[in-house]
């Protein structure tokens, strides 16, 4: 089990001014921030990131949304980071997200769901490398 995962504070949460509150929750839940930057993705960049979902009916909507405004990309460290970050985020659909999770508190819909997290150690490494250079990881 790796101690790193990748996260995004998505454009909906950044636009609504939730960035600081989400970072506070990340830190108070015991994560160390190893990498962090505010970026505005191009549609092509978002399509590359979500390539595994290319055949899904919501791919256009998803990549349009993810390139619609600034987001914060994060490399997070904690023991069992992938599961710990998914637990803190809550269910993909905010209607199903448990009390105390970020999606329960900040997400509006399954598409605009405030945060992203890697689903495995392998994908965490790929996703961190997609957005961060070595110099940007402390």
Catalytic: 53? no
The contacts of residue 30 (CB under 8 Å, 6+ apart) are: 78, 84
76 contributes a contact to ligand CMP by CB under 6 A: no
How does DSSP classify residue 31? -
Nearest CB to ligand CMP, comparing residues 107 and 132: 107
- Give the total of residues touching ligand CMP (CB under 6 A): 9
Nearest to 124 by CA among 106, 110, 113, 137: 137
Q: Does residue 61 interact with ligand CMP by CB under 6 A?
A: yes
101 binds ligand CMP (CB under 6 A): no
Over the Cα atoms of the chain, what is R_g?
14
At 29, list the tokens. Answer: 């839940």
Q: Which active-site residues does the annotation give?
A: 116
* Interface ranges with ligand CMP (CB under 6 A): 53, 58, 61-62, 92, 110-111, 113, 116
């Amino acid at each position: 089990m790796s101690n790193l995962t990748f996260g995004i504070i998505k454009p909906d949460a950044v636009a609504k001014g939730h960035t600081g509150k989400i970072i506070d929750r990340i830190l108070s839940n015991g994560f160390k921030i190893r990498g962090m930057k505010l970026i505005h993705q191009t549609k092509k960049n978002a399509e590359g990131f979500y390539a595994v979902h290319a055949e899904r009916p919501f791919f256009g909507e998803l990549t349009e949304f993810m390139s619609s405004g600034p987001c914060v990309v994060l490399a997070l460290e904690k023991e069992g980071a992938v599961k710990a970050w998914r637990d803190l985020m809550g269910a993909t659909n905010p209607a199903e997200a448990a009390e105390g999770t970020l999606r329960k508190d900040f997400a509006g819909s399954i598409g605009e769901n405030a945060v992203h997290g890697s689903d495995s150690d392998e994908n965490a490494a790929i996703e961190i490398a997609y957005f961060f250079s070595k110099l940007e990881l402390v």
